[in-house]
Amino acid sequence: SAVISQKPSRDICQRGTSLTIQCQVDSQVTMMFWYRQQPGQSLTLIATANQGSEATYESGFVIDKFPISRPNLTFSTLTVSNMSPEDSSIYLCSVEEAGRSDGYTFGSGTRLTVV
Amino acid sequence: RKEVEQDPGPFNVPEGATVAFNCTYSNSASQSFFWYRQDCRKEPKLLMSVYSSGNEDGRFTAQLNRASQYISLLIRDSKLSDSATYLCVVNRGFQKLVFGTGTRLLVSP
């Protein structure tokens, strides 16, 4: 399965600032996904990132708050903009590998604390 | 009502016990189903896919009942290392995964 490198692993940020999270995959993948896991909660899909097109956002998430880049088939970034304490969460990227339908692989996550 | 519902637990069992987790989903158009395992402060990892015919992998058995929209996971001969949160996950199409809130398992000596 694909190996995903996600950076940073954790950060503490001031409210009002922005943080960009990077996700690098060791193979070309068609689709990449960004999830949020709030404290004590399960994962919620933020958006789907396709190479060469704009990301598709889920209900409750908007591009101005969570801009996403997908410049090629192995890399994506998620930015958390104008952060508030409510954005404190774990952010994870995930990939679907071409030709596989038996689940998805996740990055190790970015633990974000906004103070 | 949540789209995927699980008993949050925790389930406290002794080593060697058999434990079963249940999950229900509300979207009848859901296409594929999975159990993931998540250790504390770690990312989720695929445990197994779930098929209508049943799926067994060593001590783990998963079942899907589409008519009842019900998924189960059975763990036999529990090990200390099985302690984790088990996430029921449903793919409702267009690669959209919906996660349950997880069932926490604690296996004690």
How confident is the prediction along chain B (109 residues), in pLDDT tens digits per residue?
A: 789 999 998 999 999 999 999 999 998 888 889 999 999 989 999 999 898 888 899 999 999 999 999 999 999 999 999 999 999 999 888 778 899 999 999 999 9
The pLDDT of A61-78, averaged and rounded, is 95
Residue A102 scores a pLDDT above 70: no
Cα distances (Å, whole numbers) of residue B55 to A53, B41, B60, B63: 37, 28, 8, 6
Residue B88: what pLDDT? 96
The candidate with the shortest Cα–Cα distance to A43, out of A107, A101, A97, A99, is: A107
The pLDDT of A39-60, averaged and rounded, is 91
Residue A100: what pLDDT? 57
Residue A86 in 3-state DSSP? helix
Residue A62: what pLDDT? 96
Contact A106, A46 (CB under 8 A): no
Give the other-Cβ count within 10 Å of B23's Cβ. 26
Residue A113 scores a pLDDT above 70: yes
In terms of residues, how long is chain B?
A: 109
Residue A35: what pLDDT? 97
The Cα–Cα gap between A42 and B99 comes to 6
Cα distances (Å, whole numbers) of residue A63 to A10, A38, A57, A58: 22, 19, 7, 10
**A88: alpha, beta or left, given left = phi > 0 and alpha = psi -120 to 50?**
beta
The pLDDT of A80-95, averaged and rounded, is 96
Provide the 8-state DSSP code for A58: P
CA distance B43 to chain A (A): 5
Give tens-digit pLDDT for A2-17: 899 999 999 999 999 9
Which of B43, B46, B98 lies at the smallest CB-CB distance from A109?
A: B43
Q: Which two tokens stand for residue A42?
A: 């399960």
Q: Do A44 and B100 touch (CB under 8 A)?
A: no
Q: Do A33 and B97 touch (CB under 8 A)?
A: yes
For residue A67, whether the previous peptide bond is cis, meaning omega lies within 30 degrees of 0, is no
In terms of residues, how long is chain A?
A: 115
Contact A37, A45 (CB under 8 A): no
The pLDDT of A54-67, averaged and rounded, is 95
pLDDT grade for A103, boundaries at 50, 70 and 90: confident
Burial environment of residue A57 by CB neighbours within 10 A (0 to 12, 13 to 18, 19 or more): middle
Determine contact: A91 vs chain B, CB below 8 A.
Answer: no
Residue A101: what pLDDT? 57
**Radius of gyration over every alpha carbon of chain A, rounded to an integer in angstroms:** 13
Determine contact: B88 vs chain A, CB below 8 A.
Answer: no
The pLDDT of A86-109, averaged and rounded, is 85
Residue A20: what pLDDT? 98
